[in-house]
Amino acid sequence: MNIELKEITIRELVNGYSDNEENGVVGFDGKLDIRPPFQREFVYKDKQREAVIDTVFKNFPLNVMYWAVNKNNSYEIIDGQQRTISIAQFINNIFVYKNRYFNNLQEDEKEKLLNYKLMIYFCL
């Protein structure tokens, strides 16, 4: 197995985000299977989701995530599902952070979040 460390912005991660419940959760232009069959269901509570967004707002590093690279140039999350879904749900106005939805942020705040770089290990 080869492992490559790459930086992915939140903008890239949430592009094409879709949560179709039992039919799956995808992101990264539809190429990332955020909830593959071996992953458990989303379990973060509000306080934990807010902690993820707070970390990003403060520009602190989130834990490294792991993605499996498939032969068809698609990906599956091995580790980082809950952080990924927390970020995508906030960006898609599904929950509030400090009484604000993403669409209520100032443009510079939005850009800061969208340009935040996540560290992803691509497992080949």
Please, what is the Cα angle at 94 between 88 and 98, to 5 degrees? 95
Q: pLDDT at position 46, please?
A: 86
User: Does the reported pTM lie above 0.95?
Assistant: no
What pLDDT band is residue 109 in, cutting at 50, 70 and 90? very high
Inside any domain, residue 124? no
The domain tally of the chain equals: 1
Q: pLDDT at position 42, please?
A: 59
Q: Domain range for residue 47?
A: 3-119
Average pLDDT over residues 15-34: 89
Inside any domain, residue 111? yes
Q: Which two tokens stand for residue 33?
A: 């299977």
Inside any domain, residue 39? yes
What percent of the chain is modeled with pLDDT above 70? 92
Inside any domain, residue 46? yes
Residues 6+ apart with CB under 8 A from 109: 57
**Residue 8: Cβ-neighbour burial (10 angstroms; 0-12, 13-18, 19+):** middle
Inside any domain, residue 64? yes
Q: pLDDT at position 1, please?
A: 81
Instruction: Please provide residue 93's backbone torsions phi and psi, each rounded to the nearest 5 degrees.
Output: 60, 35
pLDDT tens sequence across 57-99 = 999 999 999 999 998 989 999 999 999 999 999 999 999 999 9
Please, what is the Cα angle at 106 between 101 and 107, to 5 degrees? 110
Inside any domain, residue 32? yes
